[in-house]
Structure 1
């Protein structure tokens, strides 16, 4: 019976997070590589999942995706609800806006993004991944989830910052994000880029909205206002609001 339960857990994970590697799936569900591989082979043999290139990731087959049997209001539904709000926010703020999902204990992935039509603008790469603790998104998600110091240090350890950042400063920034409702990264993750982010602990596995602008293009007060506006968008999205959000 446990194997049946684990098989459905894999299917729900792929429905929510999209294509994942064997390692991602195993870490997310606490499975050994051999046990995870056996379950994946069984699900592939039954036509529920398939291998997706590049990266040798597993995904639901088109038939299972179309049937929406595993849609529990997770990533797909959230991204669908978020896209029009993100586009309005991007146009109004002239920022590159992203919706991220935690896809494993190590990584988050971009689910959806929107950009303004300004002449000079940033653009996020489709389906890009980053360390779970990286950038403003990593800080914001940790703040929203209320992770303890040990987990925060685990998330921080593998991140390669483009500007020097020690753990004590990072932890203080996470605490500040928890108090404000949004996090700020000013050139630590990417030189020349300022990003604000607001995390959603629910629905699981955890999501985050981000908005990125060119460094030096806004005053400190304007960056704070951008973060506060993104927090309001996060709150509307988390509450399922569409009609009034982003106006």
Structure 2
């Protein structure tokens, strides 16, 4: 019995990547993300363009899905459909809380990627961009994931060491913050991960095996008192539970 046709699998990997990103990408970006050599990737991209599945143009001659393919959603996996479904709930919380609300996904085991972002209409905003990545142990999301994983001290120390902290932080203090997270249900990072930014993190429970997501709420440090921060953390946990349950994310208040 013959196995899968390698070139077909590679072409589908390119299509799924562009569907997941939702925007145009350069040849070098696509090759790097899929692990293809630039020459092999270029040949596949040319074929997909000639077959009408991809379009090429705009700044940097980037590649994107043809409109019909992008609209169909047929290339989206379960994770991408989940991300799309929760965006309205993120937007409502961002506007109601005057905060940047992010959805992060664990990727490649050791890093997390920002896969959805909702911002308020405030004139001054915290700079974040979908697609950005950070080490698994970094930020409030890293503490939340560590608490949810109940990692031992050795694993916690390994995750901690992989982060470039913006503000001095001892491992003992980090470990204590992870323990506090386990009790509260949400994590806090005040300017350690990003100077001048206070972020909160809460793991999305009840996801299928292999899909791990975490919510974040980011505000400027010093802008709210402890009580207001705790209230924001509690609402973030409520949202995480709602989108991780059988309820539609669009029904979340």
What's the TM-score, normalizing by structure 2?
Answer: 0.71
Q: Is the 8 A contact 1:24 1:104 kept in 2?
A: no
| CA root-mean-square deviation | 3.8
The 3 A distance-change label for structure 1 pair 22 and 199 is farther
Partner of 2:90, secondary structure, is helix
Q: Is the 8 A contact 1:135 1:188 kept in 2?
A: yes
Alpha-carbon shift at residue 104 of structure 1 (Å): 2.5
Q: Is the 8 A contact 1:131 1:158 kept in 2?
A: no
Alpha-carbon shift at residue 88 of structure 1 (Å): 1.5
The 3 A distance-change label for structure 1 pair 25 and 179 is farther
Alpha-carbon shift at residue 74 of structure 1 (Å): 0.7
Pick from 235, 240, 247 the counterpart of residue 241 of structure 2: 235
Partner of 1:74, secondary structure, is helix
Q: Which moved more, 1:93-102 or 1:172-181?
A: 172-181
**Pairing 1:138–2:142 present:** yes
Partner of 2:114, secondary structure, is strand
Distance in structure 2 (CA, Å) of the matches to 1:110 and 1:199: 14
Alpha-carbon shift at residue 165 of structure 1 (Å): 1.4
Q: Is the 8 A contact 2:18 2:65 kept in 1?
A: no
Q: Which has the larger radius of gyration?
A: 2
- 1:29 alignment counterpart: none
Pick from 73, 83, 100 the counterpart of residue 96 of structure 1: 100
The 3 A distance-change label for structure 1 pair 213 and 105 is same
What's the TM-score, normalizing by structure 1?
Answer: 0.72
Pick from 190, 208, 214 the counterpart of residue 214 of structure 2: 208
The 3 A distance-change label for structure 1 pair 152 and 70 is farther
- Which residues of 2 match residues 99-138 of structure 1 at below 5 A? 99-119=103-123, 121-133=124-136, 134-138=138-142
Distance in structure 1 (CA, Å) of the matches to 2:44 and 2:151: 33
Q: Is the 8 A contact 2:200 2:233 kept in 1?
A: yes
Q: Is the 8 A contact 1:122 1:212 kept in 2?
A: no
Q: C-alpha deviations, 1:154-181, integer Å up to 9, x for none?
A: 3322211111112332233223323322
**Pairing 1:71–2:82 present:** no
Partner of 2:77, secondary structure, is coil
**Pairing 1:226–2:229 present:** no
